[in-house]
Structure 1
Amino acid sequence: MKFHSLGRTGISVSEICLGTMTWGGDQNDQADGFEQMDHAVEAGVNFFDTAELYPVTPLSAETQGATESIIGEWMKARGNRDKIVVATKISGPGRSYIRGGAPINRKEIEDALEQSLKRLRTDYIDLYQLHWPNRGHYHFRQIWNYHPEKQPPKAEILDNMLECLETLDEAVKAGKIRAVGLSNETAWGTMQFLDLAEKHGLPRMASVQNEYNLLYRAHDFDYAELTHHEQVGLLSYSPLAAGLLSGKYLNGQKPGGSRAAINGDLGGRFQPLQEPAVAAYVDVARRYGLDPSAMALAWCLTRPFMTSVIIGATTMEQLKINLSAADLALSPEIQQEIAGVIRRYPMPI
Structure 2
Amino acid sequence: MRYNQLGESDLNVSEICLGTMTYGRQNSIEEAHQQLEYAIAHGVNFIDAAEMYPVPPSEKTYGLTETYIGEWLKHQQRDKVIVATKIAGPGRGFKWLRGGADAIERDNIKQAVDDSLKRLQTDYIDLYQIHWPDRYVPRFGQTIFDPTQAKPSVPIVEQLEAFADVIQAGKIRYLGLSNETPWGVTQFSNAAKQLGLPKVISIQNAYNLLNRVFDGALAEAVYYENIGLLAYSPLAFGFLTGKYLNGKPENTRITLFENFGQRYLKPKVTEAVAAYVELAKRHQLSPTQLALAFVRSRWFVTSTIIGATTLEQLQENLESVNLVLSKEILAELDAINTQHPNPAP
TM range (shorter): over 0.9
Instruction: Indicate whether 1:82 and 2:76 are aligned.
Output: no
Q: After TM superposition, give the deviation of residue 321 of structure 1 in Å.
A: 0.9
| 1:306-337 CA-partner distances (Å, limit 9, x unpaired) | 11110000011110111111110112221121
> In 1, Cα distance between the equivalents of 2:37 and 2:207?
26
> In 1, Cα distance between the equivalents of 2:261 and 2:241?
17
Map 1:239-278 to 2 at 5 A.
239-251=234-246, 253-268=247-262, 269-278=264-273
Q: After TM superposition, give the deviation of residue 148 of structure 1 in Å.
A: 4.1
Instruction: Indicate whether 1:197 and 2:192 are aligned.
Output: yes
| 1:132-189 CA-partner distances (Å, limit 9, x unpaired) | 112222331111x42146424xxx65x6211111111111111101100000110101
Corresponding residue of 1:326 = 321
Corresponding residue of 2:69 = 71
Structure 1 residue runs of 4 or more that deviate by more than 4 Å after TM superposition: none
TM-score under structure 2 normalisation? 0.95
1:162 maps to a residue whose letter is V
> In 1, Cα distance between the equivalents of 2:310 and 2:186?
38
Q: After TM superposition, give the deviation of residue 199 of structure 1 in Å.
A: 1.4
> In 1, Cα distance between the equivalents of 2:201 and 2:147?
24
* SS of residue matched to 2:315: helix
> In 2, Cα distance between the equivalents of 1:266 and 1:289?
31
* SS of residue matched to 1:234: strand
Which moves more between the two structures, 102-111 or 117-126? 102-111
* SS of residue matched to 1:229: helix
| 1:218-250 CA-partner distances (Å, limit 9, x unpaired) | 110011111211111111111111111011111
Contact 2:4/2:13 (<8 A) preserved: yes
For structure 1, which runs of at least 5 residues remain unmatched after alignment?
none
Map 1:1-349 to 2 at 5 A.
1-25=1-25, 27-56=26-55, 58-77=56-75, 79-93=76-90, 94=92, 95-99=94-98, 100=100, 102-143=102-143, 145-148=144-147, 150-152=149-151, 157=153, 160-251=155-246, 253-268=247-262, 269-349=264-344
2:65 maps to a residue whose letter is T
> In 1, Cα distance between the equivalents of 2:111 and 2:225?
30
> In 2, Cα distance between the equivalents of 1:279 and 1:15?
27
* SS of residue matched to 2:17: strand
> In 2, Cα distance between the equivalents of 1:203 and 1:272?
42
Cα distance 1:270–1:150, how it changes in 2: closer, same or farther (>3 A)? closer
> In 1, Cα distance between the equivalents of 2:249 and 2:259?
13
Contact 2:101/2:108 (<8 A) preserved: no
Contact 1:265/1:271 (<8 A) preserved: no
Contact 2:213/2:342 (<8 A) preserved: no
Contact 1:208/1:235 (<8 A) preserved: yes
Q: After TM superposition, give the deviation of residue 265 of structure 1 in Å.
A: 4.6
Contact 1:139/1:211 (<8 A) preserved: no
User: What CA RMSD, in Å, does the superposition of the two structures yield over aligned residues?
Assistant: 1.3
1:96 maps to a residue whose letter is K
Identical-residue share of aligned pairs (%): 49
> In 1, Cα distance between the equivalents of 2:286 and 2:105?
44
Aligned residues: 340
1:343 maps to a residue whose letter is T
> In 1, Cα distance between the equivalents of 2:249 and 2:176?
35
* SS of residue matched to 1:127: strand
Q: After TM superposition, give the deviation of residue 101 of structure 1 in Å.
A: 5.1
